[in-house]
Amino acid sequence: MPFLGQDWRSPGWSWIKTEDGWKRIEFYGNELRDNNNGIDLEELCDENKENLFTGNVCEVVAKKRKKDLYNNNTKSQFVYQEKWIYVQKESTRERHGYCTLGEAFNRLDFSSATQDIQRFTYVAKLLQLIARSQLPSLSGAAQKNYFNVLEKIVRKVLEDHHNPRLIKELLQDLSSTLCILTRGMGKSVLVGNINIWVCRLETILNWQQQLNNLQIPKQLSNGMTLRDLPLDMQNNILYKFSDACDIINLGQATPTLHMLSEDRRLWKKLCQFHFAEKQFCRHLILSERGHVDWKVMYFTLQKYYPKREQYGDTLHFCRHCSILFWKDCHLALLFKDSGHPCTANDPDNCLMPVSPQHFIDLFKF
């Protein structure tokens, strides 16, 4: 008989229904916490050396308490969610749990990742790639989680006006894909009722209209502004950008920034950042004076070759354990925790950053 729990004699885990689906919860009783307040584990280990509590066990328990105190979960119940998933490399009958794209999307907690500014662009790009080609492969629960995460992203953009251009492209790709797929429902290309997908398409069109009507208010400040900075500092700011649209938009702010944004060296460095030298030779574009027009070169090269991706934080893949997970830098510094149950001697050398496209490729068998 199937059971839920680590021990067949246990009654099983407790579950709670949330917006993202069913999740396991754990309870920390107040009585147990109150009884253990006056007990020092180190004294217990010193007095009873022959007991089951050894020094290593005490260290693990103390570390567990520090983590609970850090997460502020000791006084109330909390939703337990493992932020990692085992990725099966080969297609075999015996599997270590579920290993589909939809299950990975449910397990890796993308809802909280949207609130992290370093992971926001990564999650948005991943949603865009799924919208282009992987919607039919999502299960019903994964679809619900996908649109819940998308709704949180749209709300965040409408509230703090963060990167609306990227979300507009995401919604445009999603609406185009849904329009094509809903016409082929006779071929059963989508999981779920056609009426649900029509309602989702109407919601997407409503979000697009809200983003198109979005007006960023002008911030009034009596302090120093961008135009008050020295010329070399404004130039250094432009050199930090890796997106051509950001450079062009910033160049429209002031005449000085417009002059700096048209610098040949700036566009040459941008081309060298995104493309290889062999690609330059195939698409050389010269100006009337015989010089290379690097700005035109950039927009020409991006039509033929993919640009270099750059993210503040990404998912990581452990080559030793075959586990995909989010790496929490704060916990890693405080508790030397890699973010997943790694069995390697040196976990840091086994980690590999995963791009959004690589994430999707991991689940193609």
> What secondary structure does DSSP assign to 68-110, as a single string?
HHHHT-SSS-EEE--SEEE---S--S--SS---HHHHHHHTTH
| Least confident range of 25-29, 230-234, 266-270 | 25-29
Which among 79-83, 215-219, 336-340, 356-360 has the top mean pLDDT?
356-360
- Contact (Cβ atoms closer than 8 angstroms) between residue 244 and residue 299: yes
pLDDT over 50 at 75, yes or no: no
- The number of distinct structural domains making up the chain is 1
Containing structural domain, residue 249: 243-304
> Which amino acid is present at 281?
C
- Residue 257 domain flag: yes
- Residue 254 domain flag: yes
- Residue 275 domain flag: yes
| Least confident range of 190-204, 258-272, 331-345 | 331-345
Average pLDDT over the chain, rounded to an integer:
75
pLDDT over 60 at 195, yes or no: yes
Which among 22-26, 85-89, 93-97, 185-189 has the top mean pLDDT?
85-89
- Residue 125 domain flag: no
Of the pLDDT bands very low, low, confident and very high (cuts 50, 70, 90), residue 34 is very low
Longest dimension (CA), the chain: 88
- Section 337-347 average pLDDT: 72
- Residue 227 domain flag: no
| pLDDT tens for each residue of 35-67 | 444 444 444 344 444 444 444 444 544 555 555
Give the model's pLDDT for residue 90: 59
- Residue 341 domain flag: no
C-alpha–C-alpha distance, residues 61 and 218, integer Å: 53
Give the model's pLDDT for residue 193: 80
Exposure string over 86-99, b if 16+ CB within 10 A, otherwise e = bbbeeeeeeeeeeb
Give the model's pLDDT for residue 150: 93
Give the model's pLDDT for residue 147: 92
- Residue 279 domain flag: yes
pLDDT over 70 at 133, yes or no: yes
Q: Which helix (H) or strand (E) holds 301?
A: helix 294-304
pLDDT over 90 at 307, yes or no: no
* In the chain, % of residues over pLDDT 90: 17
- Residue 281 domain flag: yes
User: HSE (CB half, 13 Å, CA atoms) of 91?
Assistant: 5
Give the model's pLDDT for residue 91: 54
